[in-house]
């Protein structure tokens, strides 16, 4: 491929959507100050109020499809550049390519696989998904087994960190009841290891939660349920189990050194880890939720 002109695009479909939007949608400009001179002619003003242009509701509805079209087009352009490099460097029999697990990447790799001159084993192993993302999916499925205990602590942390006064009061409780110098960590919905870090820190500060509850009656009143000792005990075991997943996630997410040669050994280590912990009756349910996702990928 010498240039990008042969790449398939959705320019025509995007243009048609754009033209349709401008011609067929109505925008109500009543009450909008455009900075123009005021019109003192009452008859003209009355007629202008009746005049409607196109409303933005339909425009907003079409934006997701336009956005998807643009993303797919950009991905195809990037794929074309990759294909040009592969051909230019004389690389033969490409075996795998690892990408994030999103739909637009699936389409881009389908195009790349169709246009590669030579493929190892006819491309059967070409599409490799991001290992860190797969670990994220596996752990999220496992955490569902202890959703109640994890969410009870997570909501308590979120409640305390929501207002500066609560943070100040909790810091006083930490000084009164704990020797740890750490403070609460918020949970990030898209990063499971933030759940691990949130739980680990909260467990170290568990006595501060009890002190905070004793000195702040609104804590138990505002939340449907506050963390109990049993919740911390359960989550302490969960954190111990998840340590291996956190270490592996951080290892394969490294951007400062090559890690492709490590992933197979790490996958086997995760399998061994699951088998060992499955013998613990407390984790049978959790691992039974994780194993299908692990085996799938």
pLDDT tens, residue by residue, 173-211: 999 999 888 999 988 776 777 889 999 999 999 999 999
CA angle 97, 103, 104 (to 5 degrees): 75
Spell out the alpha helix ranges (H) of 162-217.
Answer: 164-177, 192-204, 206-215
Tell me what pLDDT residue 21 has: 39
CA distance 288 to 295: 11
CB 157 within 8 A of CB 200: no
Beta strand segments in 76-201, E: 97-99, 127-129
Tell me what pLDDT residue 64 has: 40
Q: How far is CA 1 from CA 80, 84, 87, 88, in A?
A: 8, 6, 8, 9
Q: How far is CA 290 from CA 133, 137, 218, 233, 250, in A?
A: 14, 9, 38, 21, 19
pTM for the complete prediction? 0.64
Tell me what pLDDT residue 75 has: 60
Ranges of residues in the chain with a pLDDT under 70 are 1-77, 100-102, 190
CA distance 280 to 237: 11
Tell me what pLDDT residue 65 has: 41
pLDDT tens, residue by residue, 54-89: 444 443 444 344 334 444 555 666 777 777 887 788
Tell me what pLDDT residue 76 has: 61
Tell me what pLDDT residue 1 has: 44
Domain boundaries, the chain: 11-129, 136-296
């Amino acid at each position: 491929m010498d240039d990008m002109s042969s790449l398939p695009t959705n320019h025509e479909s995007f243009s048609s959507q754009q033209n349709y939007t401008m011609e067929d949608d109505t925008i109500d400009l009543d009450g909008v100050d455009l900075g123009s001179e005021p019109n003192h002619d009452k008859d003209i003003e009355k007629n202008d109020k009746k005049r409607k242009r196109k409303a933005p509701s339909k425009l907003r509805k079409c934006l997701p499809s336009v956005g998807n079209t643009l993303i797919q087009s950009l991905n195809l352009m990037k794929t074309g550049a990759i294909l040009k490099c592969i051909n230019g460097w004389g690389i033969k029999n490409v075996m795998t390519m690892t990408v994030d697990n999103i739909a637009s990447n699936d389409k881009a790799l389908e195009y790349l696989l169709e246009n590669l001159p030579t493929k190892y084993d006819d491309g059967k192993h070409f599409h490799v998904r991001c290992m860190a993302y797969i670990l994220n999916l596996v752990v999220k499925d496992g955490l569902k087994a202890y959703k109640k205990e994890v969410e009870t602590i997570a909501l308590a942390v979120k409640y305390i960190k929501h207002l500066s006064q609560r943070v100040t009061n909790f810091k006083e409780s930490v000084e009164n009841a704990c020797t740890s110098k750490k403070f609460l960590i918020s949970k990030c919905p898209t990063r499971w290891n933030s759940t691990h870090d949130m739980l680990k820190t909260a467990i170290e500060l568990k006595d501060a939660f009890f002190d905070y509850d004793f000195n702040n009656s609104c804590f138990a009143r505002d939340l449907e349920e506050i963390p109990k000792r049993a919740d911390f005990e359960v989550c302490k075991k969960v954190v111990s189990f998840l340590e291996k997943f956190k270490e592996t996630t951080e290892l394969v997410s490294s951007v400062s050194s090559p890690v492709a040669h490590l992933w197979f050994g790490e996958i086997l280590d995760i399998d061994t880890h699951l088998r060992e912990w499955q013998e613990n009756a407390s984790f049978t349910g959790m691992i039974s939720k994780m194993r299908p996702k692990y085996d799938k990928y």
